[in-house]
Structure formats: C-alpha cells, structure tokens
Chain A
Amino acid sequence: MADPALELADVRYRYPTGPEALRGVTLAVRPGERVGLVGPNGAGKSTLLLALAGFVPAEGLIRVAGHTLARGTARDVRRHLGLVFQDPDDQLFMPRVADDIAFGPVTMGLPLEEVEVRVHEALHAVDLEGYEQRAPYHLSVGEKRRAALATVLAMRPQILALDEPSANLDPRGRRRLIGLLKCLESTLLVVGHDLDLILEVCERTVVLDAGRVAADGPSGDILSDRALLESHGLELPLCLAAHM
C-alpha cells in the first residue's frame, strides 16, 4: 500500500484561552482518497485544518505528503496542502483575480511563463475564464468560492482541504461546485455540514466530536446511520432522509 497522503497520530491542541479543541486525533488518508470530515459546531474540524498547515501549534504527529510538520517545515507542508478557507474574502486578498491566483505560484518561485499557464489552467478548471482582471470584491459569492479554489489549484497541491465549501451558495452554485470537486484528481478533505455534498463527493466520512474521531468509514454507511449521526448532533442527509 502506498504511503498515506495525510497521516495524523494523536494530534492534540488546547486553545490558550479555552478548552481542549483536539484530544488525540488519529487518521490516515490514502493518496487520491476523498474524505468528508463532519461533526457538530465546536467539534474541532476547523482547528484540525489549521493544525494541518501548522497555524496552531498542535502536539502529535502530522505528516502531509511525506513531510512531517515540525518547527521549520511548515512551508514544505503547506506547499503540498491546498487550504481553502471558509470565507473567500479572506482567501482573495489581491486587487485582481489573476494576481490572486498567481500569488501562490509566484511565491513558489516559478518562472513568469509557468505562472501564466497555471493561472489560465486554474481559471479554466473552475470555469472562470475571462475573470482575470476582475476585482474579487465585485464577484458573486459563488464566483468568489470558485476563485478561492482556483488560487489553491494553481499550486497543484497533492491534498486539497476545503472548509465549508458550500456555505452561502445557492443550489446552482452548489451543484456546480459538486461537479467541480468530483472532477478533481487530488486527495480531498472536505470539512462541513453539507452532508449531501459529502455523500456525493467523498467515498469516506470521518465524524469528529469533542476533538476526537467518533466514527470513520464508507460515507454510505456512516451517513445512513441515523442513530450515530443524531448522537453527534447531526442528521441524515436530505437525499437519504426522504427514503427512510
């Protein structure tokens, strides 16, 4: 079996001002696997994403694409981990969409021609061709989300980690995002409450509650287990609830 794309062993973190957010998370994700990470509010899902990129100093082992996270290796880890934040206004910080997408490749030190190719590819992948010169502020929420995804795609990370990718999207925008995520070839970690999206996109689901992995298995099994979901403050995805 190939080395895991993502490996976590006994990851713990306590916020300086609050309770323990992560209490020993152990998880391995195979290359190419699509994993949904679900759980109630405050379960530690977003904290786990921040810990993966080294933004919160968690204890335990975190290995991303073979790079162990330690003091001084955060940059290598981040190069392989494409993190898409919940609020696209945080992700899109440059005055122009093209500049924003170029930001990652430019900091990677790629030559200008290669940067241009990557910007074009990423915009094509998220169906935003022709948006190069647009100001992020003037995009719709759906467009902002896709542009935010493009900023990370341009870096061609091995693992994509998305925090609540469908929040605030209308049904059409959401449908488009699902289609887009299904086409991506990289390893995928989708955090969120949109269980229908996770059921459709991810073959595996991990339930996180109170900073621990509460359940881990095929999405079809986990997301159809009403008792399990309800005991962790979740409910059946709408598409399954209709049949049960």
Chain B
Amino acid sequence: MHHIMLDHFAGGKTPVHRLDPAAKTAATLAFILATVLVGRDRFLPLVPVAVALALYHAVGRTPLVYTLKRLLVVSPFALAVVVLFPVLEPGRAVWTLGLGPWTVGVTQEGLVRAGHLAAKFLLCAWATVLLAATTRFQDVLQGLARLRVPRAFVVQLAFMYRYLWVLMDEAMRMRMARAARDGRLGPWRVRFQSHAGLLGVLFLRTYGRAERIYWAMAARGFDGTLHAPVQSRMRVSDWIFVACAFAVGAAAIIWDTVFHG
C-alpha cells in the first residue's frame, strides 16, 4: 500500500535542500523561539520572521498548495483556542449576541488576542512545514541527534516513523478482510464490537511485532545503548544560514523590547 510520506518534496535540489539538516533544524528552532517570545498582542515584531520564512519558502521552491494543506491539517489544534478568545477575553464589546438568557459578547481585545495567537501559530507551523518539506525525515532525526537532543527521544521518533506505515497497512488489511466478509455493516452494536475487536487484535499484533523487532536488534548486538555513526558536515554556507536565522530571531525580539518596552 502506498502512503504520502511527510517528506514528499524533500528530494529537491535547491540551495535550501542542500543545507545541512542540523543547520535547518537549528534555524527552525530559532524562528519558533523568537515567535513565541514576542510579547502579547504585538504584530510588527513578527514581520522579520514572516519575511524570512517567505524567503525560505521561495528559495526552497516548496509548492504553496502543499504548505497550505499542511497548515490546514495542523490548524484544528490552534483553532479551538483561537475561536474562544474573542468571547472569553474581557474588554470593549464590539458585537453582542443574545442566546436566550445568555449574551455572548465579542470584545476588541479578544479579537486582537486571537489574531495574535493565530499569527504566532501559523508562523511556528510554517517553519516546521518548511523544514519537513525540504529535509528528509531521517535527516531531521540526524540533525536532532547532532543538536544533542536525547538519543532515546530521537530513536523513539525514528521507530515511530518506520513503523507507522507498517501499522497503518496492518490496520487497513484487517479492515479490508472484515469488509470482505460483511458487505453491509450490521447494527451499530455489532459494528462497534468488530471495531473493538480489530483494535484489540491490532494491539496484540503490535506487541508481538515489538518483541520480534527487539529480537532482531538483540541478534545484532543491541545491549540497551544506541550508537549511531554520526558525521558532521556543517559547511560555511550552513553556518551563515544558521547565523542569519538567529539574526532574524534576534531582530524580532529586539524590535519587541526596544519599541514596545
């Protein structure tokens, strides 16, 4: 079975694709950190980060539709918070709605807060999407390892990425096998039971697979510590890129503190 992988466009040949994965990962962290540190309700200090990301996007030739789709996929997480702010934030009401005994007021302060949160969220998500679009997942992992992220965490991510699709295939095959036997799904109780059974079997299979993978690792000398052949390939261009990313981040924070106190 075929799945669209996260790093579908990572095989490109642009200067951004050629950058060292550790450099790109560090830059992404710098963009995110700067965005998060900008004080509440301030939009202008976010501009340097947005401009830098737009440049990153253009040079990396990431398709706009791809980026928008990815942003859409992750947006529900932020949306829940963003839509509540205009209603929950106290302030000058710009619009009220009567709902029987209750009145819901949308405040100007709430709208600003929601907009600011949405902007921050979009910038952070954009930075991550660009990293994923221009770097193969295994390279991101290597980058994380070289940035001294705990090895257990990196390995966990690697296993997740390796076996996610295998697990999805397994679930899909089981669903197909079930569908092949009942063309029309029965009453909801039967359906629910079969869903529960499927999940249970999937869990058991995953458990069995985990054991076999451990055996395969132990058969090749795994003793609980993970070693990895990691080579540093940071070149001058990579260092310049990281420096620029941190400069943009610094610009955002300085703008924020100098002009807004």
Contact assessment for A78 and B218 in the assembled complex, using a CB-CB cutoff below 8 Å: yes
Given A95-B162, A106-B227, A137-B166, residue A78 in contact with residue B220 (CB < 8 A):
yes
* Min CB gap B17→A, angstroms: 14
Given A112-B229, A115-B229, residue A103 in contact with residue B217 (CB < 8 A):
yes
Task: Tell me whether B54 is interfacial, beta carbon within 8 Å.
Answer: no
* Min CB gap B18→A, angstroms: 15
Task: Tell me whether A15 is interfacial, beta carbon within 8 Å.
Answer: no
**How far is A91 from B217 in the complex, measured between Cα atoms in Å?**
8
**How far is A221 from B173 in the complex, measured between Cα atoms in Å?**
42
Task: Tell me whether A99 is interfacial, beta carbon within 8 Å.
Answer: yes
Contact with B along A109-140 (1 / 0, CB 8 A): 10010011000000000000000000111000
Report the contact-size class of chain A (Cβ under 8 Å from the partner): 35 or more
**How far is A107 from B217 in the complex, measured between Cα atoms in Å?**
10
Given A93-B213, A94-B158, A95-B137, residue A53 in contact with residue B227 (CB < 8 A):
no
Contact assessment for A107 and B223 in the assembled complex, using a CB-CB cutoff below 8 Å: yes
Report the contact-size class of chain B (Cβ under 8 Å from the partner): 20 to 34
Contact with A along B138-149 (1 / 0, CB 8 A): 100100000000
**How far is A81 from B165 in the complex, measured between Cα atoms in Å?**
30
Task: Tell me whether A211 is interfacial, beta carbon within 8 Å.
Answer: no
Contact assessment for A75 and B213 in the assembled complex, using a CB-CB cutoff below 8 Å: no
**How far is A2 from B215 in the complex, measured between Cα atoms in Å?**
30
* Min CB gap B122→A, angstroms: 29
Q: A81: nearest residue on chain B (CB-CB)?
A: B219
Contact assessment for A53 and B219 in the assembled complex, using a CB-CB cutoff below 8 Å: yes
Contacts of A76-113 to chain B: CB distance below 8 A: 78-79, 81-83, 85, 87, 89-91, 93-96, 99, 102-104, 106-109, 112
* Min CB gap B231→A, angstroms: 7
Task: Tell me whether A187 is interfacial, beta carbon within 8 Å.
Answer: no
**How far is A109 from B231 in the complex, measured between Cα atoms in Å?**
16
Q: B231: nearest residue on chain A (CB-CB)?
A: A112
Contact assessment for A151 and B220 in the assembled complex, using a CB-CB cutoff below 8 Å: yes
Secondary structure class of chain B's binding surface, majority of residues: helix
Q: A86: nearest residue on chain B (CB-CB)?
A: B212
Contact assessment for B221 and A79 in the assembled complex, using a CB-CB cutoff below 8 Å: yes
- Number of A-B residue pairs with CB-CB distance less than 8 Å in the complex they form: 82
* Min CB gap B234→A, angstroms: 17
What chain B residues lie within 8 Å of A151 (beta carbons)? Answer: 220
Task: Tell me whether B188 is interfacial, beta carbon within 8 Å.
Answer: no
Task: Tell me whether B159 is interfacial, beta carbon within 8 Å.
Answer: yes
Contact assessment for B221 and A75 in the assembled complex, using a CB-CB cutoff below 8 Å: yes
Given A95-B141, A107-B221, A107-B223, residue A137 in contact with residue B216 (CB < 8 A):
no
What chain B residues lie within 8 Å of A96 (beta carbons)? Answer: 138
**How far is A136 from B5 in the complex, measured between Cα atoms in Å?**
13
**How far is A107 from B224 in the complex, measured between Cα atoms in Å?**
10
B215 partner, pick from A55, A103, A109, beta carbons under 8 A: A55
**How far is A136 from B166 in the complex, measured between Cα atoms in Å?**
11
Contact assessment for A107 and B212 in the assembled complex, using a CB-CB cutoff below 8 Å: no
Task: Tell me whether B191 is interfacial, beta carbon within 8 Å.
Answer: no
Q: A95: nearest residue on chain B (CB-CB)?
A: B138
Contact assessment for B138 and A137 in the assembled complex, using a CB-CB cutoff below 8 Å: no
B223 partner, pick from A75, A87, A152, A155, beta carbons under 8 A: A75
**How far is A85 from B208 in the complex, measured between Cα atoms in Å?**
13
**How far is A85 from B219 in the complex, measured between Cα atoms in Å?**
10
Contacts of B200-259 to chain A: CB distance below 8 A: 209, 212-213, 215-223, 227-229, 231
**How far is A75 from B162 in the complex, measured between Cα atoms in Å?**
26
3 shortest interchain CB distances as A-B pairs: A107-B221, A104-B220, A95-B138
Identify 5 new A-B residue pairs, CB closer than 8 A, beyond the known A53-B219, A79-B221, A93-B216.
A91-B216, A93-B159, A95-B138, A108-B221, A115-B229
